[in-house]
Amino acid sequence: MLCCRRANPFVLCTGLRVLGYFMILLVAAIVALSYYAVVVVAWGPLILHGEAASVLAFAIVVIFHVLLVFLLWSYFMVVFQDPGSVPENWRPILDEENVEAATSGTLSDYVAPEIRTSTWSSSERRPDITYCSRCQNNRPPRCHHCSICQRCILKMDHHCVWVVNCVGARNYKFFLLFLLYTFLETCLDTIVLLPRFIKFFGDARNHSSSPGNLAIIFLAFVLNLAFALSLLCFLFMHASLLLSNTTTIEVYEKKKSVRWKYDLGKRKNIEQVFGTKKILWFFPLYSSEDLENTPALQGLDFPMRSDVEG
């Protein structure tokens, strides 16, 4: 007697996680290829010529290294920073339990008068507090279960195979900076390799350069151009999400509402992700003050508009 086996959907999830580790190696390979093409082959040798071109070459190499440092710093922060998961046996804070916290001014100093915090009385239950049957735990607002990570992620945006990690409340800033610096780096590489790319066809016919270097210049230019164009689309999309305080998962829900309940205005929406210290906005880190006093960065509680029902 034949027995039908039920397909296990988590096999695919495990496969995606393995694919993610391959993506890390791919990122390292593209970085190494671009470094060799720009610094070793194209512009590095010009620094030693002592001509006017050496000043331009030096500037290009310095900018390349600065962007590379910020790119890798942001990337590894996304890879290794926990996006945030729900504490075991978590439950929402009721109004009567939050009296001391409210009077201390911790939240009131940050939240504008027109914004209310997500606490409520014990006689009501907010609809965005759900229960995860797989984690067997309550889920705070904007939290979703990731089948690949097999846990609930705070303010989950998406699972990114490029970083083998979820993008959520505590590493979304690092992800955005990774996109930004990768876009700037690939644009720089494309521009500075363009003269060598044009010259490639003449060198190929005359055999005036080594075939290996020609292949590296050609491949590096094409890859960087392709990534720059694709990243431009992602940057526009995530900039729109950032300014409206929306995650990728919440896009459909936001379309159904007249006013998005988490939209606090552009400045406060940015502060919800990047923190209040503007000097640190372009660095993949937070001040201790922001981590302690900005509820959205903790991922369990989010201020909302006062003119929208929760």
Q: Which residues contact 310 (CB under 8 A, 6 or more apart)?
A: 118, 120, 126, 127, 128, 261, 304
Q: Is 76 exposed, middle or buried (0-12, 13-18, 19+ CB in 10 A)?
A: middle
Is the pLDDT at 56 greater than 60? The verdict is: yes
pLDDT at 113 > cutoff 80: no
Partnered with residue 128 across adjacent β-strands are none
Residue-level pLDDT at 124: 41
- d(C-alpha 220, C-alpha 36), whole Å: 9
The predicted structure's pLDDT at residue 203: 64
pTM of the model: 0.84
Higher pLDDT, 306 or 107: 306
Percent share of the chain, pLDDT over 90 = 59
3-state secondary structure 250-300: CHHHHHCCCCCCCCCCHHHHHHHHHCCCHHHCCCCCCCHHHHHHCHHHHCC
Q: What confidence tier does 88 reach under pLDDT thresholds 50, 70, 90?
A: confident
Residue 83 has pLDDT above 70, yes or no: yes
Per-residue pLDDT, 310: 53
Which DSSP helix (H) or strand (E) runs through 153? strand 151-153
Instruction: Dihedral sign for Cα 295, 296, 299, 305, please.
Output: positive
Catalytic residues: 160
| pLDDT at 205 (0 to 100) | 64
